[in-house]
Structure 1
């Protein structure tokens, strides 16, 4: 506010009579000015919403919930739910998505997983499904814990959690070597599985100081395997006897091959028979030619405990669903839930590939940088009363 000056001394204010009226200028005769242009309306200011921090970790479970493999998918979903109940906290969410058991269905389920902001993918089951989801997973850097036994799908953030033949072969040959069975031969199917077994046997023998005397292949579609067994027996010498034969097969072919080996070598000189997880069949306990055979398997205590908990929660597992496969679904979900609790959903390679490993339905396991599952396996021996565990699984890697 302007300051009013005080009156000066000796001066009086002017009276109304002496004040001259102001001269009012005449109005202009020109045309009025046009109104000013309207002020520009400012653009609305858009305030971007602040990002909302995720309050939960999401795992997409890709399994066939419809189609011919629906029973398998439902059993795997049940096993995953069991792990969810036992391991997860409220911040972990499982998203079951239907692959329909096809490559196209798996790709669509993967797209759904991405749209629902999944942090990790559990499954799919079949190798062709895994190959169908791999491009999307790798593009978005989403880790996949597949239930496949196909090692060719592994790598680049894709993990094969299935029980691969390599570690099984290495475990049983190593055990045979520890029991004085140095000279090993292999009877393998002439297919991808048989060739993988044979190559694993070569690697295991070289690494563990065993002598791989011979590898013989046979056509699994032919009914007679006698010629392959004869060739195998002919490969032995006095310096290189065969005291263990690995037969990587199951069912009627395994029974036939085991009987032929016993007959060709003679009952008194028959080598110890070795197998893979294909031997984990309750029906084999009645086969005399397999009595005393050794094969690798998950530790009985942990796997049987898982099966009992499954039956209590969901009833008997379908006959066409291998319990080992359901255990893999449990293990993958338990791993994802555990990391969600411990590391707030950290599924980086460093977290997934913890060198100490994890404990699951199948015992101790860990994921390798190559994308494979390394497992601690026990050794079982076939007896007329059933398979019994004769060598425990390791407690640590």
Structure 2
């Protein structure tokens, strides 16, 4: 079946660079506790065009969800996250202007689990047929049991993949989605011995789980994972440990010193020869670096070469948030050629333009999640209802950030591009796929 683009049906997107450090700090609250924020590239979906609803997948079981009703939009319209909630409401209204049918039922969660649960209960009682939101993982956990008990499907705005279950789809870009794409790209170029240097945080451990899963799915050796604390000395120790420099480099240095200590012409000649030997490469040929801030990356730009963990012997990989750090990284020669997975910003140009025209400012990073969720809900309403049969259409969806596929178990697959850090601006090293398929298809 032909896939219809959400941005074609509802032309609009937002600026990929966050407008202020304050907004970046706010977005850090959006994922599961301790996670890095959704990057400026947020998220995206798409939906099948007009025509009969697709047949349900054989393994999906009975269809879940309502076939009619208004669209319940749960957002923090008061409290610290109110500016983010307002921008997301604005984005959803581009799809559901006043007087549209079905209509948006917008309810304030105040950014708290109790507020989200109360708002969800009120919307469900009013007969709403699908839930868009809420924004954070803790709110989603409070709403999910209510949605499932009432048979109402939910498109959460969180990027916490652990929330996924039948009828509950987290739409933010997850650690697993970005890791799988960039690890696959590395494997395609022969980089199959993977190590990882990750922050000792919830986000770092989420990346570690995703990296282990990705390498296992590719039948690669188990990754060598090292966690670092958030301090200068701890980062230095972690890089030293990961590099195995004591065995690779220290042995050569000890040989040079021993030859020099002989104090003979033969010893000096031996030391001279040893000084021109290259330190053996590390035991891995790809390194996933989980740093999400400029200061840590600047420190690593010194530590990694010092311990001889360098390109071209080692291909650096990183998280999607590098899309915001790329200009800074481009000034550090060691990171030129590093890869990360993210949506292709070209896919969201129409959304950016429409939001700018409607509201007089560029949309913030997370607004595209609300826009795509709203567009998906509106298309579903006209194609059989908000059921899992419709939402898990095998052809998938295309939206502001590319191809997206909702799976019956609540997991979300996403078609991301792979970018390479280069002088000036990043370049696309591997284009985003134009289609995905349900597992087993």
TM-score scaled by structure 2?
0.71
Once the two structures are TM-superposed, the CA of residue 192 in structure 1 deviates from its matched residue by: 2.1
Partner of 1:66: 78
Partner of 1:161: 171
Which digits, 9 at most, give the CA deviation of each residue in 1:232-254, with x for residues without a partner?
11189879732221012211223
Alpha-carbon distance in 1 for matches of 2:126, 2:166: 22
Gaps of 5+ in 2: 1-65, 249-279, 437-441
Alpha-carbon distance in 2 for matches of 1:73, 1:223: 39
Relative to structure 2, which stretch is displaced further, 94-103 or 262-271? Answer: 262-271
Partner of 2:51: none
**Cα RMSD over matched residues?**
2.6
Once the two structures are TM-superposed, the CA of residue 213 in structure 1 deviates from its matched residue by: 4.7
Which digits, 9 at most, give the CA deviation of each residue in 1:211-240, with x for residues without a partner?
445110112366640111111111898797
Partner of 2:383: 342
State the secondary structure of the residue aligned to 1:386.
coil
Larger Rg: 1
Gaps of 5+ in 1: 1-53
Alpha-carbon distance in 1 for matches of 2:67, 2:229: 55
Match 1:126 to one of 113, 119, 136: 136
Alpha-carbon distance in 1 for matches of 2:306, 2:103: 57
Once the two structures are TM-superposed, the CA of residue 134 in structure 1 deviates from its matched residue by: 2.0
Does the CA contact (< 8 Å) of 1:190 and 1:217 recur in 2? Answer: yes
Relative to structure 2, which stretch is displaced further, 383-392 or 67-76? Answer: 383-392
State the secondary structure of the residue aligned to 2:151.
coil
Structure 1 residues 56, 160: closer, same or farther in 2, change over 3 A?
A: closer
Does the CA contact (< 8 Å) of 2:383 and 2:390 recur in 1? Answer: no
Report runs of 4+ in structure 1 exceeding 6 Å deviation.
235-240
Aligned residues: 336
Matched, 1:290 2:335: yes
- RCO higher in structure (CA 8 A, sep ≥6): 2
Structure 1 residues 266, 379: closer, same or farther in 2, change over 3 A?
A: closer
State the secondary structure of the residue aligned to 2:321.
helix
Matched, 1:204 2:214: yes
Matched, 1:83 2:95: yes
Alpha-carbon distance in 1 for matches of 2:206, 2:347: 28
Which digits, 9 at most, give the CA deviation of each residue in 1:158-210, with x for residues without a partner?
21111111121111011011122222210112222211211211221122243
Matched, 1:117 2:161: no
State the secondary structure of the residue aligned to 1:347.
coil
Matched, 1:271 2:314: yes
Structure 1 residues 142, 221: closer, same or farther in 2, change over 3 A?
A: farther
> For 1:1-397, what aligned pairs fall within 5 Å after superposition?
57-84=69-96, 90-220=100-230, 224-234=234-244, 241-251=283-293, 252-265=295-308, 271-282=314-325, 283-288=327-332, 289-317=334-362, 321=364, 323=365, 325-343=366-384, 346-397=385-436
Once the two structures are TM-superposed, the CA of residue 394 in structure 1 deviates from its matched residue by: 0.7
Partner of 1:29: none
